[in-house]
Every structure is written in structure tokens, then in C-alpha cells.
Amino acid sequence: MESVFSLALLGDSVLNPSSFGGEAIKHLFNWYFLAAALIFLSVTFSVIYFSWKYRAKRYPHAKQLFGNTKTELFFTGTALLLVTVFGIYSFNLMYDIQPEVNDSNNDIQPDVIITGHQWWWEVYYPATQSVTANVLHIPANKKILVELHTADVIHSFWIPQVGPKRDMIPGRTNFLWIGATNAGQYEGLCSEFCGAEHAWMRFPVIVESQTDYENWLKAKAMNASEPTDSLALKGKQLFTQKTCSNCHSIRGVTEKANYGPDLTHLSSRPVILAGMFPYNKSNLRAFLQAPDDLKPGVHMPNFILSQQELNALVAYLDQLK
């Protein structure tokens, strides 16, 4: 099985932004980098040059110095100036790209609410009550307010090309503005170690036109499709009879749990297991057969399903478009 994500390439990094604040952050980074590089080079050069110039062979006895006001003023002043300039630049930029949002701003509604779980992403659009998991759709050229929660430990939500990162902290609601200037597919990830499968807490971010986005939202607000053939019907029965519904919800079938991802439109998602594998029947079947083999540490137990049961469950889940 092949993973859908390549290893981190420069193309996916913050240095190749597609976000509203991205270019500005990149400029700030470049200035920091330039200043740091100049300081590094001048210190390195000075150490080498003066070690050579005042080597013990030529100057066996060091000259004792007791203070030099000019030099001290120069070094203190330069450092103070750099810190002040970069401080003001950074704080201004932070405020520009992340307007303050807190619980008292009741007039601002989040576009999407995302909850981090060990190890997957719950994604909910309150305005349309659309629901999905492990994939995020947003319209291009629009600022999106994301509300962030966690169901268990600290996670950190980050789409390097599309916006800054922000932690998901137990008992706290955090907000984050993101927005992509170009349509396309980007990669999001968890940026805070959160347990065994932290590295496999990834999700594709699909940035599309407003129309495509609205159509997608509408589709994801609908109830699950009803199975038509007998194998899939058997699968639905199994889903409700076994303990699947204690952790997973399927809208219109059983909606009491969100410990595991909502499965209402499972087969329309590009990936399963938080970005680990592309969605297809054989990957789904392999996971149902031995969850822990595919994703060590995963919280779903092995239900020791028979081949017939696996066929039926896969048939049912695969028609959940």
C-alpha cells in the first residue's frame, strides 16, 4: 500500500505560502534570516581574524583593557535597536494576520470547528451542519475562522502553506484565521507530539472555488445513503449490532458517538486513518481485519471479523458516499 503523502518537500513548507499572511511572514522570516546571517558571519570573521592578528607569537603579553564606552554603547545600542525593530515588526504582523477572537466576540461565528483526537481530525461546519473527518475543504480567496478543540490530549493544528499553527488544548477553545489564495491541494498536520500515531495525524486540505465548496458542503450535510444490495444491507446490520456505533456515528443510522471518525460519507474522502492511506476498499478491509497492524496504537480494537462479515461491512461502508 502506498501512502498518499510524500515526505516533507520544500514545496509543502511555510517558505512556499499560499495564504493571506504567508508572503508577509516570509518577508519577516527573510529579514530575520538576513540579520542573523550577518551577525553570525561578522562574529565568526572577528573570532578568526583577531585570533590570528593577536596570536601569542606576536603578542606574548596581553594588553589589559578596563572598559571602552564607545564600544559598549555600540554593541548595546545595536542589539537594542535590532530587538526593538524586529519586535515591533513581528507584533504588528501578528496582529494584522490574526485579529483577536475570544469568547466575548459573539457576533463572529466560526466557519469550521475542528477537534483533535488520538489520532484523527473531526471536522464540522456549523452553518450547514456538514460533517467530515480527516479532510478539510475551504473556498479559495476567503478568510476562514477555525475554532479548535481537543477531545483528549494537546494537539496542534497546522497547514504550513495556508496559515499559522495553533494548539488544541483540553478545556480551552482556540481560534485561528486561515485562508488560501490559490486553489489546489495542501497538507495539514498535527504539530505537537500527542502519542504513538502523532506522525500519522495528517489531512489533505482541498481549496476550491466557492461553488464547488458549497456543493461539497451540501453533500456533506445529507444523511447517509441507504444500502440497496443484500451484502451492504447485511453490513449495515452488522454495524448496528456490533459495537461499531459506540464509537462511530453514521448520520441517519446512529448518531450517539464521536470517539472515532463520523462515517456518514466515508468513501468520498481521499484518505483514511488520518492521512495514512488513500481510501479504497482493500485498505478499508485490511484495517477492519487488523487495525493495530496497520496503525499501531490505534484505539479501535480487533473485532476478529469473519471473511463474510468483512465483505458485508466493507460493502456497506463503501457505499457511504
Contact positions toward ligand CUA, by CB under 6 A?
Answer: 116, 155, 190, 192-194, 198, 201
Least distance to ligand CUA from the beta carbon of 93, Å?
A: 27
Least distance to ligand CUA from the beta carbon of 200, Å?
A: 9
Least distance to ligand CUA from the beta carbon of 155, Å?
A: 3
Strands 277-278 and 155-158: unpaired
Rank residues 155 and 234 by Cβ distance to ligand CUA and give the closer one: 155
Following DSSP, what letter does each residue of 106-141 receive, concatenated? TTPPPSEEEEEETTEEEEEETTTTEEEES-EEEETT
Rank residues 157 and 186 by Cβ distance to ligand CUA and give the closer one: 157
What is the Cα–Cα distance from 259 to 317, expressed in whole angstroms?
A: 18
Rank residues 18 and 115 by Cβ distance to ligand CUA and give the closer one: 115
Least distance to ligand CUA from the beta carbon of 116, Å?
A: 5
Question: Which residues fall within 8 angstroms of residue 211, CB to CB, at 6 or more apart?
Answer: none
Cell of 205: 486540505
Least distance to ligand CUA from the beta carbon of 232, Å?
A: 33
E strands, the chain, are: 112-117, 120-125, 130-133, 136-139, 144-150, 155-158, 166-168, 174-178, 184-190, 202-208, 271-272, 277-278
Rank residues 197 and 208 by Cβ distance to ligand CUA and give the closer one: 197
Cell of 311: 465483505
Contact 81, 155 (CB under 8 A): no
Rank residues 155 and 265 by Cβ distance to ligand CUA and give the closer one: 155
Beta bridge partners of 292: none
What is the Cα–Cα distance from 300 to 196, expressed in whole angstroms?
A: 14
Residue ranges of the alpha helices (H) in 165-298? Answer: 210-220, 230-241, 281-289, 291-294
Least distance to ligand CUA from the beta carbon of 261, Å?
A: 14
Rank residues 198 and 295 by Cβ distance to ligand CUA and give the closer one: 198
What is the Cα–Cα distance from 157 to 201, expressed in whole angstroms?
A: 10
Rank residues 155 and 251 by Cβ distance to ligand CUA and give the closer one: 155
Least distance to ligand CUA from the beta carbon of 129, Å?
A: 25
